[in-house]
């Protein structure tokens, strides 16, 4: 089945810093999503982005499907950005496969 | 609010018991997925239903079963519970297979 890798596994930032999270996948996909799992365990949709670039406030994402990777950019990070960021992909006819996540800690 | 409702939010039960977790998908969504997240682990796919029919199974234990009812809500049944079954259980819904998924708040199951 499809393999999903995320890097870095852990990231510690000072408030106000920028960061880039990466998701690599091993096969063609017809869906890619980024999620934020907050410290209370909730999974929050960030982006539905099988290809192209999207922006939402301080967050943006780019997926280059032909090269099998996606990037999540967080600018001017805030303490509320702390948590785990997951990417999940769907290979045609299959089910959502999650990466292992990037654990982000933003320090005040 | 994702529009996906899971009940209960928290559940504490003893080993050997049986519990039922409930998921109501977003209005109009036909697909329901169940995932398990053990402590500090990733999300593991359990089972997928589409419009009442089972479509795919992941690494779901034989002690676990699920169904999707005509009104499209789904239930995950966990029996002969073990300490290792303690986890967050999420359901997600999509209008069609593989389209944008929305997750419920999860049910945190603690087996003591």
Q: What is the pLDDT of residue A12?
A: 97
CB contacts < 8 Å between A and B, how many? 49
Q: How many percent of chain B have pLDDT more than 70?
A: 99
**CA nearest B108 in A: which residue?**
A41
Q: What is the pLDDT of residue B69?
A: 97
d(CA B20, CA A37): 24
Which chain A residues touch B109 with a CB distance below 8 Å? Answer: none
- A92 in B contact zone (CB under 8 Å): yes
Q: B32 vs B6, B56, B98, B111, CA distance in Å?
A: 12, 11, 11, 25
pLDDT in tens, B28-80: 999 999 999 998 778 999 999 999 999 999 989 999 999 999 999 999 999 99
CB A37 within 8 A of CB A84: yes
- A100 in B contact zone (CB under 8 Å): yes
Q: What is the pLDDT of residue B43?
A: 92
Q: What is the pLDDT of residue A71?
A: 98
HSE-up of B90 (CA within 13 Å, CB side)? 22
- B103 in A contact zone (CB under 8 Å): yes
Q: How far is A89 from chain B (nearest CA, A)?
A: 9
Q: What is the pLDDT of residue A93?
A: 65
CB proximity list for B19: less than 8 A, separation 6 or greater: B11, B13, B77, B78, B81, B109
φ/ψ (deg, to 5) at B83: -55, -35
- A86 in B contact zone (CB under 8 Å): yes
| Predicted confidence pLDDT, tens digits, chain A (108 residues) | 889 999 999 999 999 999 999 999 999 888 999 999 998 899 999 999 999 999 999 999 999 999 999 999 999 999 999 999 999 998 766 788 999 999 999 999
pLDDT in tens, B97-112: 778 899 999 999 999 9
């Amino acid at each position: 089945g499809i393999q999903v890798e995320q890097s870095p596994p852990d990231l510690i930032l000072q408030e106000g810093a920028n960061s880039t999270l990466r998701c690599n996948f091993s096969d063609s996909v017809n869906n890619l999503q980024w999620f934020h799992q907050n410290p209370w365990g909730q999974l929050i949709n960030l982006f539905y982005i099988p290809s192209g670039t999207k922006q939402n406030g301080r967050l943006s994402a780019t997926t280059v499907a032909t090269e099998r990777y996606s990037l999540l950019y967080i600018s001017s990070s805030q303490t509320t950005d702390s948590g785990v960021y997951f990417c999940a992909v769907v290979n045609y006819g299959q089910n959502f496969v999650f990466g292992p996540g990037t654990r982000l800690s933003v320090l005040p | 609010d994702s529009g996906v409702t899971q009940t209960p939010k928290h559940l504490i039960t003893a080993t050997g018991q049986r519990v039922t977790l409930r998921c109501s998908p977003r209005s109009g969504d036909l697909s329901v997925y169940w995932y398990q997240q053990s402590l500090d682990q990733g999300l593991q796919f359990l089972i997928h239903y589409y419009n009442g029919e089972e479509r795919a199974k992941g690494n779901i234990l034989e002690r676990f079963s699920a169904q999707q009812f005509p009104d499209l809500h789904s239930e995950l049944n966990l029996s002969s519970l073990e300490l290792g079954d303690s986890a967050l259980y999420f359901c997600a819904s999509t209008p069609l297979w593989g389209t944008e998924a929305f997750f419920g708040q999860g049910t945190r199951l603690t087996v003591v």
